[in-house]
Amino acid sequence: MKTSRIPGFYNMTVDERRKLLQDMHTFTDEETADLFSDASLPADTADKMIENVIGTFSLPLGLGLNFLINGKEYVVPMAVEEPSIVASASYIAKIVREAGGFTTEATDRVMIGQIQVVGSPDIEAAKRALLSEKEALLEDANAAYPSLVARGGGAEDLEVRLLHEGSDSRYGQMLVLHVYVNTCDAMGANIINTMVEALAPTVEDLTKGKVYLRILSNYADKCLARSRCVIPPALLETENFSGEEVRDGVVHAYEFAAMDPYRAVTHNKGIMNGIDPIVIATGNDWRAVEAGAHAYAARNGQYSSMTTWFKDGAGNLVGELELPMSVATVGGSTQVHSMSKMAHSMLDVKSAQELAQVIVSVGLAQNLGALKALVTDGIQKGHMALHSRSVAIAAGASGEMIDIIADQLIEQNEIRVGKAKELVEQNIK
């Protein structure tokens, strides 16, 4: 039976984990070979994806476990190099699972295309002209990409924005046309760019100005995903801290990030520690997601926390995360890279909306994992214990010696490459 609750998964060997995964999923022989191969991206395929290819660069692919989202089990593939991320997300997901799991929702999949117009002799008249031709412009946009309309999407609305209106700024005034496009399960970059490029000549004619940029915006604030969890304090208790102490510490840590951009950047980086690995594993554009998320964190005029944490009337810890999430389940690299295809198969999401909701849930879990560690034993205790293996490898350890050196580093509380090299030489002798 498929479940994300797999006790002892961390202690299994790689082969044991692979066997368990095979038992949970029905993989073809080809899929199994791709999933368990150390070279899942052939050089000839890589050569068609980007320019000047000389090889490929692999990342560890781990599984985020214990996730229960809207009552559904999710095993979450995460491609990332930093230790403790997968363990932390899985640990918090187990706590949230015991509290009933994450609840999520998402808006329609509406992305934005922008057309920049400068030099209109009468910018207000240009705005009126565009709005008066709204329906014709939307029809022309949809005519540029009829296959999207056939799938139930397409250009749905438009808006005209005037920048530096009435300003003496050295930049001058300009007009920007926003075209709002439902991209269905595609990220939509190529779709939107095709549409706005098709509209450019008509826009120039209507505004009597010059069109320069016509391109999508990665600030997808009409394409949002939200996740929420409610945790009784008893589930947050540790050996040295009561659940109420942990709850209050998390709330105060959030308040710090909400007020101080210097703290917010690190706070939000921890959220993206959970988000980016899924975006990468599923073949989506993690740079676009990062850019949109950080812009959304500054939407009120100051860069602030992406998450919100507070105590409800019953004394529970409540966490919420809402972010733009321009991810896809079709198109781009999602179906080109064999491992991305496998990631989608393991997640078993039915739409881009569902994928977005899983992603923000992992981001919320990752944030709580970091905050809980910070307000209790400190971030380094668990992180450095997991990091010790990487240090051992960097010092030249291999095979069984990796764990031996890692254990010795932890025991001596000196997790650094120089010390690891000394221990490797001692063990070899």
How many C-beta atoms lie closer than 10 Å to residue 106's C-beta? 20
Cβ 389 vs Cβ 60: under 8 Å: no
DSSP state of 9: G
Cβ 405 vs Cβ 397: under 8 Å: yes
Cβ 160 vs Cβ 148: under 8 Å: no
Long-range pairs for 388-396: beta carbons < 8 A, 24 or more residues apart:
388/415, 389/83, 390/83, 391/415, 391/416, 391/417, 391/420, 392/420, 392/424, 394/420, 395/420, 395/421, 395/423, 395/424, 396/421, 396/424
- Active site residue: 267, 337, 383, 387, which one? 383
Please say if 178 is a catalytic residue. no
- Active site residue: 285, 294, 341, 387, which one? 285
* Distance in angstroms (rounded) separating the CA atoms of residues 418 and 342: 39
Q: What is the CA radius of gyration of the chain?
A: 25
- Active site residue: 19, 164, 269, 381, which one? 269
* Distance in angstroms (rounded) separating the CA atoms of residues 343 and 63: 10
* Distance in angstroms (rounded) separating the CA atoms of residues 41 and 208: 49
Q: Helix, strand, or coil here: 164?
A: coil
Please say if 133 is a catalytic residue. no
**Distances 404 to 31, 264, 411 between C-alpha atoms, Å:** 34, 38, 11
Find where tokens 């540029």 sit: 144
Cβ 96 vs Cβ 230: under 8 Å: no
- Active site residue: 25, 31, 72, 82, which one? 82
Cβ 203 vs Cβ 115: under 8 Å: yes
Please say if 285 is a catalytic residue. yes
Please say if 383 is a catalytic residue. yes
Burial (CB < 10 A; 0-12, 13-18, 19+), residue 152, is: exposed
- Per-residue burial over 254-269, b = 16 or more CB atoms within 10 Å of its CB, e = otherwise: bebbbeeeebbeebbe
Q: Which helix (H) or strand (E) holds 418?
A: helix 417-428
Cβ 178 vs Cβ 161: under 8 Å: yes
Catalytic site residues? 82, 269, 285, 383
